[in-house]
Amino acid sequence: MEREYWRWPESRFTAEDIDWRKGEIISAGVDVGSVSSQAVVLVDGKLFCYSNTRTGADSPQSAQKAMDMALEGTGMSLDDIHYIVGTGYGRVNVPFAKRAITEIACHARGANFMYGPSVRTILDMGGQDCKAIHCDDKGKVTNFLMNDKCAAGTGRGMEVFADLLSIPIEEMGRLSFQIDEEPEPVSSTCVIFAKSEAVGLLRKGWPKEKVLAAYCSAMAHRVVELLERIGVEKEFAVTGGIAKNEGVVKRIERELQIKALEPTYDTQIAGALGAALFAKALVEKERGLR
Amino acid sequence: MLEKYKTEPLKCWSKAKEIRSNYYKNYALAHEKGGLRWAGGAWSFDAIPAGLGDDVYPLTGEPYAASIAWNKEFALRCHEAVEKAGYARDLCSYMRNYWGSIILNEYLFGGKFPKPDFIWQDHICCSHAKWYQVARDLEGGDVPYFAIDVSVGPYEELTPSRLEYVVGQMHDGIEWLEKVTGRKYDDEKLIQAVLNHCRSTSLWAEICTYNRAIPAPLDEKTMYSLYVLGTLQKSSKQVADFYEELRDEVKDRVERGIAAVSNERCRVMSDTQPPWAFLRVFRYLEKYGCVSVGSLYTFGLIGMWEVKEDGTWGPRKTPQELGIEIKDRDQALRLLASWELKKPEWQHFYSPQLKSEMMIRIAKEWKLNGVMLHYNRGCEGLSLGIAENRLALLEAGFPVMIFEGNMGDEREFDEAQTISRIDAFMESLGFEKLEE
Amino acid sequence: MMERFRQWYENRHDYAREWKKKTGGKVLGYFCTYAPEEIMYAAGVLPVRILGSHEPQDVTEPHIFGMYCPFCRDCLAQGLKGRYSYLDGIMISQSCLHIRQAFTSWELHIPVDFSYYLPMPNNVQSKRAVPYLAHELRAFKNALERWMGKEIRDEELEQGIEIMNKSRRLTRELYELRKSESPPLSGLEAMYAVVSSQMVDKREYNNELEAILRKLPQRVEDNSAKIRLMILGSENDDTEFLKMVESLGAIFVIDDHCTGSRYFWNETIPNQDLFESIATRYVERIPCPSKDWPVRKRVSHIKELARDWKAQGAIVIQQKFCDPHELDIPSIIKSLKESGIPSQFLEFDVTVPVGQFKTRVEAFLEMLRGEDLF
Amino acid sequence: MYVAGIDCGAKYVKVIIIRNGEIIGRGSVLSGFDVKGSLNEALKKAMEQPKISAEDLSYVVATGTGKGEVDFAQATMTEVTANAKALNFLFPSVRTVIDVGAEEGRAIRINELGKVIDFAINEKCAAGAGTFTETMARALEIPLEEMGPLSLKSQKSVPMNAQCAVFAESEVVSLIHAKHAKEDIARAVHDAIADRIASMARKIGIERDVALVGGVARNVGFVDSLKRDLQVELLIPEQPEFSCAFGAALLAAERAKGG
């Protein structure tokens, strides 16, 4: 079988130092996105385990798969979780979730947890959309903006390029810096235009790395336009799949002349993490704790 | 390459360049000379502010924005500044270039963007009056603004009441000009400006008629640089005089058989503003011995036409030629309004049929092999009805090629695809490349 | 209770055909709400607004270049597909260039008995506009008389004005009810009412609405906990979108659309010269942005609506490529923000990506709701 | 006498060799970025069967986006004219040719002599029909070649915005999450592309008979959607993706004869 360059490696994590059976509140969040899905489980607000997997053509199944994978080997079962919040494109199709909250609210909340209360501007680059979010010190959304139609398909666009160039998607960022000098960006409007431009450049004999650099900087440029429309307040953080692509992130930083906060977790789990934090708050509400 | 005809450069060329560059310089430096600056569209009645004195300098938005389009780097910065300010990217690209220049506070010809003392605009498409409404916002909201609405229907259906609506606004405009500038209005200067206006626009039409000759003395790419003077200040004596000189030169070229393109064997016309950053597309045509001899756009935006006795199109007779003496302000304004309302490139705002008829006329009288329509995403006004024009031209037996683009935003133009369309079009017309 | 409006809207063509059969009268399709329906009622024709169908279509590409708004193409598609084959005439009252193309292409390819272009002034803030329009309205009346082969008398004009005014008054009353803490009707129902009024005989609409207005105050409908939204922008009869938003715990309480309040807000105040009265009404009505210059009068009106109807947030929609609205929206959003009303902007096409829009709207509502989960 | 037509397309290089009006060799190779390499490979493949070498080719005509790369070609022609020639030869009754490739779509009106009367090429914003189907197959988790047969099972049409592949994709994602059946989504994808192609074809007017060529003509789902949309029968040559190469070969044959 042909290698699938576009596929992000799936991953999971368990905090070995937490005994979940002693936990008071076990909450979880499941983020079913257009390209990937994540599940995060918190024990008393501490990150216990998570998974990051591919979204399939059936959202309930994708949710199930993410949850199963997160719980794998932990001894925890679905019934042990007190509250689950669904988020992402498929949020209403998470069969075991009690409530759905949008990925915009969840990413802000998750980023607040991941990066600390100083985060004010979050850029979430997902498979289909790109969102610029402003939040307060609690991770509450104060304003947000989504890409216009012509700039849709950010994450999917990266996949298209991974395939086109036969470069594993996780390698793209690094390789995009293996160039002598920064080339002119390709069309920053549209994934389709960008692809046809890239094919032209490759046929002209451009090395893959250079084409990749041209695409990453086009993407960065497009995202910066979105960010500038809402305004970038410090601190600034990036979440979602493309946050893992340093080729884009570093170029965004360069254009904005602002350094993004360093992630300590897998940036793709921000949405599910936020959902799990909301789930915790909802349990507390139910129990009259707040 | 086969060279059938002699060619030589235009003698007037450097003079046209000089007029243009002085125009932009004068606007920027107007205050230093104690003069006034006004901004507005190329369709506005520039003869009217002329009555405020000889030291009143305009900056017309469309040609200024087209100049920006030539400078890809600056144009892109303009677009991005405008998008950042929250405006849609599919709006008129001239307007976006112009606003960008204000937001960036950079004048294409050096220095900061010179803020106008007043805005003198007219309203033709959805964007025109709104263009300067936003410009005024961007300038801080304190620039006095006046716009005249000319949307009274096609010339052939002009009624006294319709004319009155336009003339009435003109009278109001003069009162307003006196109020905002504190100057006394000079009707004599208005009358002179109106006469110049008629002279410039009639002469331009005459110049275009010489392009019926085979070989054509001018190609459209050259015409762009010449007609533009009419969009800057057609009511000035300088422009009218220049067109007279140019007319004589073009006439002489025809008499001596001087061609714009030495291997001419195929003649086409275009439509709407071209993608300014890609005029080399017109050069590419020459590989096939193909010359674009004009368009309704180059002929009819500035040129004023009428049907002559033999049924063909010719320059509209000016009031001077008709022996009309303008005695007062009202008469001058009436004359100006009814002169402008007959602008060929205005008629099609009311019906694509009116435009199709004019285009078919040009195709026949200028002996064309085909038509290249620029579906211009940058201008909703001139692209209006263009799809219907295409159908009508085909119906009349003229092959049509279309290409999509944008006059002022190069992001919407696909050069490689356009070139391959030209190849296919030329093949379908039965022409092969004369050179590789 | 308000089912009838939805039925009229969904079966607009059947209604018009029935009406013709029943009355033997003529149906005149119009393209923009600047059309002086007063005069059409006076002439005894049924004015029907031509609208799209919200289905993807592929028949207008040869006629209208794709950079013009999807709405104007959708309208023309209805004609090309023969859905309006019962129209005896068409007319347009000048506004934007987009819809003008639907009209001019319709004229060329779907011939009808009567076709009229009314050059409604764009400079409505000029003192020259009313006398000029009054003149044009007379010319329109004359054309209608020639077409119908009968004279239109002053009494008939007065009746036409009264039919229109009554429907305006009643619809305003309906909108007044939406000011309540718990509005007795949804935004979707209000939209069905207004849009259907553009399609049916106003007399019939008036009767129906009068009856409803008597019953509505007794309607038990608890909407008090819902987020109160305003919706504004370009032509909008996207009922699916309204349905979606109102399923998320929100209710639209007020709008500014030409398929909503902008259509009926102002009345014609009859004075000695009826044409001048009608002209004044159309010149002074809440403007389409294409006519809202040099001053943007609509912005302060929108702010007043939001204040009076206590909107907590605004959804600003715009037909893709609609230049007039694109030119006003930044300044509207800014000014709403200054008066403390957050807004969410969405670009509409013939169909909208429901999933993506749902996320945006839900996130917007979450923000407005401010539930304490932090 | 052997002559060849070479179509350097966006995705594949295709070569056809003919002798006395008969196809005696064909080769198709993914073009990749080394166009010259793929070109040689495709040529080699095409020459295998007739067992000839490049020196035996008395005339070569190139077409397609990369036609400039074929430096040994004596002449080039555009895909528009190549298609016209090929279809006029294959089906003399054809007056409209619709060609749908990976990136580009075109519609061509021809007369009884195969002369091009009018043509339309998709605009920038309507590009990427082929790419679109591929990414959508991925989103639906089915192999690309199953997209067509799957969509034939659908009985339901789901309206979708058709103009732009990227917008359409976000609608597809919505459909997936709204739990529409895979076959209905597959059909919606094909309907959307067919809609886009039909829209372009209507620009030049559909005159019978109508032929469909290009790689996408092999997708039965797309063909079904297009037929339903245009309400006409579609003539599809046996190897529809070779149509441009064949047209070029026909020109080569004419030229070789000294025509």
Q: Tell me, rounded to whole angstroms, the distance of Cα B39 from its chain centroid.
A: 16
Please tell me whether residues A77 and A191 are part of one structural domain: no
**CATH code: domain of residue D23:** 3.30.420.40
Q: How far is CA B309 from CA B107, B306, B313, B314, C227, in A?
A: 48, 10, 9, 10, 71
Question: Has residue A1 been placed in a domain?
Answer: no
C92-108: b (≥16 Cβ within 10 Å) or e: bbbbbbbbbbbbbbbbb
Please tell me whether residues D205 and D115 are part of one structural domain: yes
Interface with chain A: mutation pick from B79, B84, B87, highest number of A CBs within 10 Å: B84
Helix (H) / strand (E) element for C344: namely strand C343-348
Nearest CA in chain C to D193: C58
Please tell me whether residues A54 and A175 are part of one structural domain: no
Q: How far is CA A94 from CA A83, A91, A269, C256, D51, in A?
A: 13, 6, 16, 37, 61
Question: Has residue D87 been placed in a domain?
Answer: no
Nearest CA in chain B to D111: B428
Q: How far is CA D224 from CA B124, C276, D195, D227, in A?
A: 46, 58, 12, 5
List, for residues A176-211, the tens digit of each pLDDT value.
999 988 888 887 667 777 887 888 888 888 899 999
Please tell me whether residues D225 and D253 are part of one structural domain: no
| pLDDT for residue A56 | 82
Task: Tell me what percent of the residues of chain C surpass a pLDDT of 90.
Answer: 94
Q: What are the chain C neighbours of A285 within 8 Å (beta carbons)?
A: 373
Span of B82-86, B116-120, B175-179, C92-96 with lowest mean pLDDT: B82-86
Instruction: Mark yes or no for CB contact D115/B399 under 8 Å.
Output: no
Q: What are the chain C neighbours of A103 within 8 Å (beta carbons)?
A: 359, 363
**How far, in Å, CA of B106 to CA of B67, rounded?**
13
Q: Is the pLDDT of residue A127 over 80?
A: no
**What's the token pair of residue B8?**
């030589």
| pLDDT for residue A170 | 86
Please tell me whether residues D207 and D246 are part of one structural domain: no
Please tell me whether residues A29 and A137 are part of one structural domain: no
| pLDDT for residue B436 | 58
Please tell me whether residues A172 and A245 are part of one structural domain: yes
C202-237: b (≥16 Cβ within 10 Å) or e: beebbebbeebeeebeeeeeebeebbbbbbbbbbbb
Provide the pLDDT confidence category of residue B1 given band limits of 50, 70 and 90. Answer: low
Nearest CA in chain A to B415: A197
Please tell me whether residues D192 and D100 are part of one structural domain: yes
Nearest CA in chain B to A223: B84
Question: Has residue D108 been placed in a domain?
Answer: yes
**What's the token pair of residue C239?**
């009922």
Instruction: Mark yes or no for CB contact D66/A93 under 8 Å.
Output: no
Residue A66 to chain C, least CA–CA distance (Å) = 21
- Among chain D, residues having any CB pair with chain B shorter than 8 Å are 65, 77-81, 115-121, 123-124, 203
As for how many domains chain A has, the answer is 2
Mean pLDDT of D156-174: 75
Nearest CA in chain C to A152: C356
Q: Which of B387, B414, B424 minimises the CB distance to D119?
A: B424
Which residues share a beta bridge with A36? A54
Helix (H) / strand (E) element for C7: namely helix C3-10
Span of B217-231, B336-350, C353-367, D78-92 with lowest mean pLDDT: C353-367
List, for residues C22-60, the tens digit of each pLDDT value.
999 999 999 999 999 999 999 999 999 999 998 888 899
Q: Is the pLDDT of residue A153 over 70?
A: no
**DSSP letter assigned to residue A116:** -
Q: Is the pLDDT of residue B123 over 90?
A: yes
Question: Has residue A132 been placed in a domain?
Answer: yes
Please tell me whether residues D182 and D208 are part of one structural domain: yes
Please tell me whether residues A48 and A88 are part of one structural domain: yes
Please tell me whether residues D115 and D8 are part of one structural domain: no
| pLDDT for residue A237 | 95
Residue C279 to chain B, least CA–CA distance (Å) = 14
Please tell me whether residues D60 and D96 are part of one structural domain: no
**How far, in Å, CA of D57 to CA of D124, rounded?**
37
Planar angle of CA B416, B419, B423, nearest 5 degrees: 135
Span of A121-135, B33-47, B54-68, C57-71 with lowest mean pLDDT: A121-135
Q: Tell me, rounded to whole angstroms, the distance of Cα C161 from its chain centroid.
A: 18
Q: Which of C366, C372, C373 minimises the CB distance to A102?
A: C366
- Write out the E strands in C16-169: 27-30, 46-49, 89-93, 114-118
Which residues share a beta bridge with D25? D17
Nearest CA in chain B to C60: B387
Instruction: Mark yes or no for CB contact A150/B89 under 8 Å.
Output: yes
| pLDDT for residue A89 | 87
Question: Could you tell me which residues come within 8 angstroms of residue B153 by beta carbon, excluding any fewer than 6 positions away?
Answer: B162, B350, C117, C119
DSSP for C272-341 reads SSHHHHHHHHHHHSSPPGGG--SS-HHHHHHHHHHHHTT-SEEEEEEETT-HHHHHHHHHHHHHHHHTT-
Please tell me whether residues A130 and A253 are part of one structural domain: yes
Question: Has residue D217 been placed in a domain?
Answer: yes
| pLDDT for residue A196 | 79
Question: Could you tell me which residues come within 8 angstroms of residue D226 by beta carbon, excluding any fewer than 6 positions away?
Answer: D98, D194, D197, D198, D212, D234
pTM of the predicted structure, to 2 decimals? 0.93
**CATH code: domain of residue A273:** 3.30.420.40
Question: Has residue D127 been placed in a domain?
Answer: yes
Which residues share a beta bridge with B245? none
B411 to chain A, any CB pair closer than 8 A? The answer is yes
The stretches of chain D forming alpha helices (DSSP H) are 35-48, 79-90, 129-139, 144-152, 165-177, 182-204, 220-230, 243-256
Question: Has residue A115 been placed in a domain?
Answer: no
Q: Which of residues 64-103 of A touch C (CB under 8 A)?
A: 89, 101-103
| pLDDT for residue A1 | 40
Please tell me whether residues D101 and D67 are part of one structural domain: no
Please tell me whether residues D131 and D204 are part of one structural domain: yes
Please tell me whether residues A144 and A249 are part of one structural domain: yes
Please tell me whether residues D212 and D111 are part of one structural domain: yes
Question: Has residue A154 been placed in a domain?
Answer: yes
Q: Which of D116, D123, D124 minimises the CB distance to B428?
A: D116
For D195, the domain range is 92-236
- Chains in touch with A (≥3 Cβ pairs < 8 A): B, C, D
- Write out the E strands in B247-399: 258-259, 266-270, 290-295, 305-307, 313-315, 370-376
Please tell me whether residues A250 and A136 are part of one structural domain: yes
- Chains in touch with D (≥3 Cβ pairs < 8 A): A, B, C
Q: What are the chain D neighbours of C52 within 8 Å (beta carbons)?
A: none
Helix (H) / strand (E) element for C141: namely helix C129-148
Q: Which of B83, B411, B416 minimises the CB distance to A225?
A: B83
**How far, in Å, CA of D213 to CA of A22, rounded?**
67
DSSP for A4-27 reads -TTPPPPEEEE-TT--GGG-S-EE
Provide the pLDDT confidence category of residue B2 given band limits of 50, 70 and 90. Answer: low
Interface with chain D: mutation pick from B401, B427, B433, highest number of D CBs within 10 Å: B427
Span of A169-178, A196-205, B103-112, B266-275 with lowest mean pLDDT: A196-205
Which residues share a beta bridge with B372? B401
**How far, in Å, CA of C211 to CA of C193, rounded?**
13
Amino acid at B317: K
Question: Could you tell me which residues come within 8 angstroms of residue B142 by beta carbon, excluding any fewer than 6 positions away?
Answer: none
**How far, in Å, CA of C347 to CA of C70, rounded?**
11
Please tell me whether residues A34 and A102 are part of one structural domain: yes
For A48, the domain range is 11-110+269-286
As for how many domains chain D has, the answer is 2
**What's the token pair of residue C131?**
């006398």
Question: Could you tell me which residues come within 8 angstroms of residue A172 by beta carbon, excluding any fewer than 6 positions away?
Answer: A158, A161, A162, A165, A212, A216, A245, A247
D27 to chain A, any CB pair closer than 8 A? The answer is no
Question: Has residue D135 been placed in a domain?
Answer: yes
| pLDDT for residue A152 | 67
Please tell me whether residues D230 and D246 are part of one structural domain: no
Please tell me whether residues D232 and D246 are part of one structural domain: no
Question: Could you tell me which residues come within 8 angstroms of residue D219 by beta carbon, excluding any fewer than 6 positions away?
Answer: D133, D147, D148, D190
Q: Is D62 helix (H, G, I), strand (E, B) or coil?
A: strand
Query: How many residues comprise chain D?
Result: 259
What is the tally of helices (H) and strands (E) in chain A?
A: 8, 10
Parallel, antiparallel or unpaired: strands A11-14 and A46-54 = antiparallel
Question: Has residue D84 been placed in a domain?
Answer: no
Query: Is B85 in contact with B57 (CB distance < 8 Å)?
Result: no
Question: Has residue D86 been placed in a domain?
Answer: no
Residue B430 to chain D, least CA–CA distance (Å) = 9
Q: Which of B131, B137, B165 minimises the CB distance to C128?
A: B165
A200 to chain B, any CB pair closer than 8 A? The answer is yes
List, for residues C311-359, the tens digit of each pLDDT value.
999 999 999 999 999 999 999 999 999 999 999 999 998 888 777 889 9
Rg (CA), chain A: 19
Instruction: Mark yes or no for CB contact D174/C353 under 8 Å.
Output: yes
Question: Has residue A6 been placed in a domain?
Answer: no
Question: Has residue A5 been placed in a domain?
Answer: no
Helix (H) / strand (E) element for C109: namely helix C97-109
